[in-house]
């Protein structure tokens, strides 16, 4: 929050029917950093990410992108600044990796102007950055889970935005693929200075890869800061109601949670 | 052999080739549709009918006044049903969706039945506006019942089924008690291009044009919509507006078709499946190829119907189902259906 944040939630409240999911929540995504949003199930962390990406209408308060309320900006203009990978996107059968990535260019195209050199360049770059260039012509349904998730991230990359939001990108992946995917996400953040926020379930992976931890409980942000400061035995107890011991990861030096 | 050679190319290269082939085939078939019919005519008559037209020559008059409108009608109807079917299957993500599911056909039928019963109209040319009106009213009703601006494809299909059933039941009840209505309606409902004239086509041309433009524009947004509503929104697509445009395109295309030729089943269901084998998951190609293949199938069905019975004149709608049925079975057996 030291740098001026480009994406800010100001007192947002979201309710599903009677149940309030986010309550008067304030948060700012640190620019240029990799932020991991953690919290127990039904804490509102995915809803927060969706609200930040203007996928979730807010009942009160507002999300501000670059100093202007996000719902007052055209959806296409927002999509050129901010990309989101939702939790369970669907792909039509037989869609190739390249055709999926090309769809990331939608906000840069129009009905009358559907393809440009900039599009081709962004698509090839996104394929290269995710290591999918060799698989570009394969149908998505012929890929492994990890490759498929990388293809979706490549689509979001082709959107060529400064801000990238990911909703539980590691779900359904085994541990090696989770590590591979988060390494990729961190490289994307480090190499281009992109602001990245991702919802994660695994506290230890969040601590290892993220610059900032954002912990959500009962629809409110209860902690925000670097993993070393924020992840403590007391805070994990507070956020997850989980008694634990926190040690220093002997390899990476980051906090490591051992549930008791 | 040619087909095998084409399969080896990446599918991106196959699409323009297939589009060109289908358009060429359509052109050839169109010439045959002008050349062959009940009255024997030669290629020279076709040539002269458009080159140095002689209004006193019966052969040339038949070609210009009867076969040409019929051909244009078949091209427009087949193309429109193909595009509408592709949009419908894409929007609902259901490969078995038929454009008639939005209540368009049932509404048009109801309009025609009421028009015959209440106004005593028997001239098919007058059915154009009542069936178009019936189609629009029914689809509006489907939209409102389906939840208005909160509508989603699943609710729309349910509402469409309900409205269709209601319209058809009411229509049948009327037909049961009114023999006179049945006699006129029976002919219209089979679907075909008998007695169609250029004036009818001219009346409906703006609808076909607007529907085609809407369909091609919508296909661009549909590509993003196929990734799910959230992903499409994330890509900057206004999902509600895009779905409204798609629905509008379907209603206009089907409404104009049913107004011109009566309800024609099967073409809207089957043509996108044929096109999908080439177009893959790109909706823009799917819509284009469905238009050309739909027109091809419809012209072929109409021509076959006219020639097969030696003047007996089988309705194109019946013929399309007769030809389409085996094609669908062939597709299912080759595991082609469901590959959406």
β-strand pairing of A68-69 with A60-65? antiparallel
A55 touches chain B (CB under 8 A): yes
Fold of the B2-333 domain: ABC transporter involved in vitamin B12 uptake, BtuC (1.10.3470)
Judging contacts by C-beta atoms under 8 Å, the chain B residues touching residue A92 are: 93, 226, 281, 340
Give me the phi and psi of A37, to 5 degrees please.
-100, 115
Q: Do the chains contact at B238 and A75, CB–CB below 8 Å?
A: yes
Q: Contact, B339 vs B276, CB < 8 A?
A: yes
Across A10-21, average pLDDT: 90
Above 60 in pLDDT, residue A26? yes
Above 90 in pLDDT, residue B200? no
Judging contacts by C-beta atoms under 8 Å, the chain B residues touching residue A136 are: none
Torsion A192-A194-A199-A201 (CA) sign: positive
Task: With cut-offs at 50, 70 and 90, classify the pLDDT of residue B339.
Answer: very low
- Taking only the tens place, the pLDDT of each residue in A81-108 is 999 999 888 888 889 999 999 999 999 9
The residue ranges of DSSP E strands in A53-150, in sequence order, are 60-65, 68-69, 82-85
Which of A54-68, A132-146, B11-25 shows the lowest mean pLDDT across its residues?
A: B11-25
Residue B318, number of CB atoms within 10 A of its CB: 16
Which of A44-48, A199-203, B125-129, B250-254 shows the lowest mean pLDDT across its residues?
A: B125-129
Judging contacts by C-beta atoms under 8 Å, the chain B residues touching residue A106 are: 223-224, 235-237
Cα distance between residue B226 and residue B249, in whole Å: 17
- Joined together, the tokens standing for residue B254 give 């089907």
What pLDDT, on the 0 to 100 scale, is given for residue B337? 47
The residue ranges of DSSP E strands in chain B, in sequence order, are none
Q: What is the mean pLDDT of chain B?
A: 84
**How much is the ipTM here?**
0.90
Question: For the CA atoms of chain A, what is the radius of gyration?
Answer: 18
Q: Contact, B110 vs B167, CB < 8 A?
A: yes
Above 50 in pLDDT, residue A123? yes
Task: With cut-offs at 50, 70 and 90, classify the pLDDT of residue B3.
Answer: very low
What pLDDT, on the 0 to 100 scale, is given for residue A134? 93
Task: With cut-offs at 50, 70 and 90, classify the pLDDT of residue B2.
Answer: very low
Q: Whose structure tokens read 């944040």?
A: A5
Q: Do the chains contact at A95 and B220, CB–CB below 8 Å?
A: no
Across B178-192, average pLDDT: 77
Contacts of A70 (CB under 8 A, 6+ apart): A54, A62, A63, A64, A78
What pLDDT, on the 0 to 100 scale, is given for residue B340? 39
Cα distance between residue B253 and residue B245, in whole Å: 12
What pLDDT, on the 0 to 100 scale, is given for residue A128? 92
Across B280-307, average pLDDT: 91
What pLDDT, on the 0 to 100 scale, is given for residue B261? 87
**Percent of all residues in chain B with a pLDDT value above 70, rounded to a whole number:** 91
Q: Which of A50, A94, A156 faces B281 most closely, judged by CB atoms? A: A94
A31 touches chain B (CB under 8 A): no
Contacts of B215 (CB under 8 A, 6+ apart): B83, B84, B86, B87, B249, B253, B287, B291
- Taking only the tens place, the pLDDT of each residue in B302-322 is 888 888 765 566 777 788 888
Judging contacts by C-beta atoms under 8 Å, the chain A residues touching residue B288 are: none
Q: Contact, B260 vs B317, CB < 8 A?
A: no
- CA distances to A118, A177, B192, B316, B317 from B321, rounded to whole Å, are 47, 50, 12, 9, 6
Nearest CA in chain A to B219: A111
Across A146-153, average pLDDT: 93
A57 touches chain B (CB under 8 A): no
Which residues partner with A107 through β-bridges?
none
Q: Helix (H) and strand (E) counts for chain B? A: 15, 0
Judging contacts by C-beta atoms under 8 Å, the chain B residues touching residue A159 are: 235
- Joined together, the tokens standing for residue A250 give 């002997």
Nearest CA in chain B to A101: B224
Contacts of A134 (CB under 8 A, 6+ apart): none
Q: Do the chains contact at B340 and A111, CB–CB below 8 Å?
A: no
Judging contacts by C-beta atoms under 8 Å, the chain A residues touching residue B284 are: 114
Task: With cut-offs at 50, 70 and 90, classify the pLDDT of residue A117.
Answer: confident
Across A46-59, average pLDDT: 94
Cα distance between residue A139 and residue B205, in whole Å: 40
Cα distance between residue B27 and residue A111, in whole Å: 28
Q: Do the chains contact at B230 and A91, CB–CB below 8 Å?
A: no
How distant is the Cα of A23 from the closest Cα of chain B, in angstroms?
Answer: 23
Secondary structure of residue B285 in the 3-state scheme: helix
Each domain of chain B, given as residue ranges in start order, spans 2-333
What pLDDT, on the 0 to 100 scale, is given for residue B313? 65
Which of B150-154, B200-204, B293-297 shows the lowest mean pLDDT across its residues?
A: B150-154
| Site from B231, B242, B339, B340 to mutate, A interface, most A CB atoms within 10 angstroms | B231
More confident residue, B339 or B163: B163
Q: Do the chains contact at B236 and A95, CB–CB below 8 Å?
A: no
- Taking only the tens place, the pLDDT of each residue in B94-133 is 888 888 788 888 888 888 888 888 887 777 667 788 888 8
- Joined together, the tokens standing for residue B3 give 């087909």
Task: With cut-offs at 50, 70 and 90, classify the pLDDT of residue B156.
Answer: confident
Contacts of A64 (CB under 8 A, 6+ apart): A7, A8, A9, A10, A70
């Amino acid at each position: 929050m030291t740098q001026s944040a480009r994406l800010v939630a100001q007192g947002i409240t979201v309710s599903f029917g009677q149940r309030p999911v986010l309550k008067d929540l304030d948060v700012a995504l640190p620019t240029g950093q990799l932020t991991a949003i953690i919290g127990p199930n039904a804490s509102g962390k995915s809803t927060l990410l969706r609200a930040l990406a203007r996928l979730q209408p807010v009942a009160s308060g507002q999300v501000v992108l670059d100093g202007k309320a996000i719902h007052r900006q055209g959806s296409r203009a927002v999509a050129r600044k901010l990309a989101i990978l939702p939790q369970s996107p669907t792909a039509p059968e037989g869609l190739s990796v390249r055709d999926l990535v090309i769809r990331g260019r939608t906000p840069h195209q129009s009905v009358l102007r559907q393809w440009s050199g900039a599009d081709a360049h962004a698509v090839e770059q996104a394929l290269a950055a995710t290591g999918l260039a060799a698989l570009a012509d394969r149908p998505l349904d012929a890929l492994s889970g990890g490759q498929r998730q990388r293809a979706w991230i490549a689509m979001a990359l082709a959107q060529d935005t400064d801000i990238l939001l990911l909703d539980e990108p590691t779900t359904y992946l085994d541990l090696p693929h989770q590590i591979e995917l988060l390494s990729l996400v961190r490289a994307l953040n480090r190499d281009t200075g992109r602001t990245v926020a991702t919802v994660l379930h695994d506290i230890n992976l969040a601590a290892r890869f993220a610059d900032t931890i954002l912990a959500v409980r009962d629809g409110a942000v209860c902690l925000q800061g670097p993993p070393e400061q924020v992840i403590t035995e007391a805070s994990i107890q507070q956020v997850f109601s989980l008694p634990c011991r926190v040690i220093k990861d002997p390899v990476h030096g980051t906090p490591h949670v051992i549930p008791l | 052999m040619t087909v095998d050679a084409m399969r080896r190319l990446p599918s991106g290269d196959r699409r323009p080739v297939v589009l060109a082939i289908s358009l060429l085939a359509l052109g050839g078939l169109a010439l045959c549709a002008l050349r062959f019919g009940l009255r024997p005519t030669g290629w020279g008559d076709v040539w002269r009918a458009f080159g140095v037209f002689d209004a006193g020559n019966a052969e040339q008059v038949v070609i210009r006044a009867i076969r040409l409108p019929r051909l244009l009608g078949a091209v427009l109807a087949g193309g429109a049903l193909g595009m509408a079917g592709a949009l419908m299957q894409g929007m609902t993500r259901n490969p078995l969706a038929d454009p008639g599911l939005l209540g368009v056909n049932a509404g048009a039928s109801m309009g025609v039945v009421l028009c015959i019963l209440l106004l005593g109209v028997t001239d098919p040319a007058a059915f154009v506006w009542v069936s178009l009106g019936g189609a629009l009213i029914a689809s509006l009703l489907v939209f409102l019942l389906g939840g208005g601006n909160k509508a989603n494809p699943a609710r729309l299909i349910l509402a469409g089924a309900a409205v269709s059933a209601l319209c058809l039941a009411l229509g049948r009840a009327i037909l049961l008690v009114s023999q006179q209505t049945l006699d006129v309606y029976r002919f219209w409902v089979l679907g075909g291009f008998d007695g169609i004239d250029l004036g009818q086509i001219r009346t409906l041309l703006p609808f076909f044009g607007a529907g085609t433009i809407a369909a091609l524009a919508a296909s661009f947004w549909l590509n993003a919509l196929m990734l799910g509503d959230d992903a499409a929104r994330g890509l900057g697509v206004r999902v509600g507006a895009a779905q409204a445009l798609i629905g509008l395109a379907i209603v206009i295309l089907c409404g104009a078709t049913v107004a011109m030729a009566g309800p024609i089943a099967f073409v809207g269901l089957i043509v996108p499946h044929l096109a999908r084998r080439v177009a893959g998951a790109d909706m823009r190609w799917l819509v284009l190829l469905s238009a050309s293949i739909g027109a091809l199938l419809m012209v072929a069905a109409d021509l076959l119907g006219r020639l097969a019975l030696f003047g007996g004149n089988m309705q194109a709608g019946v013929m399309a189902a007769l030809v389409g049925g085996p094609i669908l079975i062939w597709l299912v057996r080759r595991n082609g259906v469901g590959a959406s």
